[in-house]
Chain A
Amino acid sequence: GAGVSQTPSNKVTEKGKYVELRCDPISGHTALYWYRQSLGQGPEFLIYFQGTGAADDSGLPNDRFFAVRPEGSVSTLKIQRTERGDSAVYLCASSSAGVTDTQYFGPGTRLTVL
Chain B
Amino acid sequence: QVQLKESGPGLVQPSQTLSLTCTVSGLSLTSNSVSWIRQPPGKGLEWMGVIWSNGGTDYNSAIKSRLSISRDTSKSQVFLKMNSLQTEDTAMYFCASPYWYFDFWGPGTMVTVSS
Tell me, yes or no, whether A binds B: no
Q: Which residues of A contact B (CB under 8 A)?
A: none
